[in-house]
Structure 1
Amino acid sequence: VAKDRSNATALSIPRDLIVNVPDCPTTQDDGSTKVIPGSAGVRFNSSLGQDGRTPSCTLRTVTELTGVTADNFMVADFNAVKTLSSAVGGVDVCLAKDIDDPDSHLKLSAGEHTIQGEEALAFVRTRHSVGFGGDLSRIEIQQQFLSSLMRKLKSNDTLTSPTKMVKLAEAATNALTVDSRLDSIGKLKDLGLELGKLDTRNLTFATVPVDDNPAEKVKATVVLREASAQRVFAMIRDDVSFTEVQRKKKKEAAAVAARLKGPKSAPGDIRVRVQNGGAPSGSAQQELLYLQNEAGVTKSENAGNAPAGLARTTLEYAPEQADQARALAAVLGLSGAAMKPGESVVNSQGLPAMTLTLGKDFKGAGIPLDAAAARAPEDVQKSTADKVQCAK
């Protein structure tokens, strides 16, 4: 949830994603602390429940994976789905086809339904009868359920009425496991009222971009789609909305902003030398690999370390290279302020090239440097809570 409450992102992490679970200190029944050793290259769902791991272990794993530090946690078990869906008088869902799933015990005809209790639980657990029949399909149907739940809470003013929120919070205290900062009806009520400030158009449900694990012949787990995933994580860390409605816009001077306007060269025509001016060691080579292998900027090369450090990344170019500069700025998410009209340099082929100097603000290969210009990658599965979707 953004600090100014203008937007929020609910990010789903597939249970079968391969992650590193860090060491986790846990409090035992006698008050002592036991450190549960971490595990490398295991499924994400092993961070909770296995080997005595508590929700705090899952939070540590999320931080290790995303770089995002969670302020609070809630754990909703099967009973929570039944209790909360009933407490709001049912949740409206839509099916594009008939579903008869013997595994989850969900049996519903195509069309719109209001579900609660056991039926709501069956809905969020079904996977064999929707999409591709896997965990990613189940994530989509769960996101549709939560979107509808949010619309229900907004439509009947529950999230803006202290009285209604107290009643919902009373039900939640019996259905949710929460951390110590949310362990009372009053605290849950206050959180709900804060969420009530959100416009559902600016509540985005997204899923971490993943690919099938290339190490497996029989596909059972998934791995990060690195460039896209890191962009998603950076947007959440920087409080950048995934929606166009509340996208933050930096105000630049007209002359600076104008540097981004005009024709752009094709990626294959961009000539640039990349040098490190304050980013972590190896960043120039990482950015080079991204440019060549994913962005199509094949006429790029590593220029080593810059002669002086920079706080911010810059792209220096000659006037006749403006088309190339605008194209590269679009690829890297550079602001107009990062573009420095100047002189070209000669690359290893003896041809004029631009100079990209990675500063201390460099966040990783493929991650836009201007947070306000960031957009969710096209390959990220996402939806907003104001849209009614039917499970397919």
Structure 2
Amino acid sequence: GWSPNIKHGDPTSETYLEYGTRSKRRAWAAYTQGVWDINDDFTLTFGVRWAEDDFRGQENLVIPTIVDVFTGITQGIFSSAGLGIGDSTTDGWANFNMLRGALDPVTFEPTGVVDPWVDGFPTYVSVHRNMDRVDRKVTGRLNLDWTPNDRDLWYFSVTSGYRSGGFNLVFFSTTFEYDPEELIAYEIGYKGQFFNDTLQVFASTYYYDYSNIHTFGSEVSAATGGTTTSVLEAPGAEILGAEAEILWLATDTITIGGNVSYTPSEYTKSLLIQDAADFRFPDDLIPNQDTNLDIKGNQVLQVPEYKGSAFVTWDYPMGERGDFALTLSASWISEVYFSQFETDFDRAPAYERYDLRGTWMSPNKNWIVTGFVHNLADEIGIRQIEPHGVTDGYRRTGQVTEPRLYGLEVTWNLN
């Protein structure tokens, strides 16, 4: 088949298109931090960071196409009206095919006669786009620690964050570049120990204020006419959060731990995006319809609202027969949206998972034998959903968690 040579691009077999892209990024950064011990209880940490990202990219695309010079001409010349044998002006192509023997004049069935010249002239369209951008940003961090005693620590921090912009390469997206992602993060946290230092507690609450956050959207490419998935800029988003973690040495042989988080989030400003993967609005059947949807108020992409895990470990010393430990763990996650539009067909339901692991270790620690069962309840969860548009039948693909898995591990240490 046809395979042109594009610099920096590999031939793409099994398709009539040839893409070639190249990108180059250079990044520089400088960071400094200072610590001020105000007194025995308070410590102030401050830092500043300068970053510069120089990003260059190019897209190359060659599209084979056909220049059709016959359809319009034959429709007029060979129509019944054009030949003076009737009034129709739309049967020219059929009359032309009968005259050249490609269409039976009685049955109107194709005869199998093929004349490649009537299909038009093959030609190629080559498209090139060169892009260059430089992003510079100064960010900072301010953190205040308060240690009223040896067992408690409170901290208060404000941090500005930045992720450089970039390009939507390969498919000649209408939005060919996007600006940096920026936020200011506020956090209050606590770390403490209780019950003679047998219980450790970590807790924090935070607020992320995005002035610009990267998301994804579908666009129609002006170069190819196809639908592309591009990184877009949502002009605002907020993520609130609270999380806690504990580690408790309940007895000499029992350890309990766990963590839980609550993270509500939403896009706070309007952004109209087309949902090209929504089968309720098939653009091929109902063209030119306005399918842009406003994502303001929707949950931020792939941010679950609830998440947590817990475990309990029982250690059983057996003296000269070694040591045995049994651990039961559990984890759970709330529903997750893999689309900014919060549609049910792009939502992964909540799921739980339980694991069991038992480990025996020889007295000299040379032998370790572990038996395990992953996903005790054999509950399958959806970890990723990938939506597809009209060319793929609006199907959804994705990744799921592993089914119940059990096994045995044996380790022998030669030392």
Specify which structure has the bigger relative contact order, considering alpha-carbon pairs within 8 angstroms and separated by 6 or more residues: 1
Query: More helix per residue: 1 or 2?
Result: 1
Q: TM-score, normalised by structure 1?
A: 0.18
> Radius of gyration: which is bigger?
2
Q: Which one has the bigger strand percentage?
A: 2
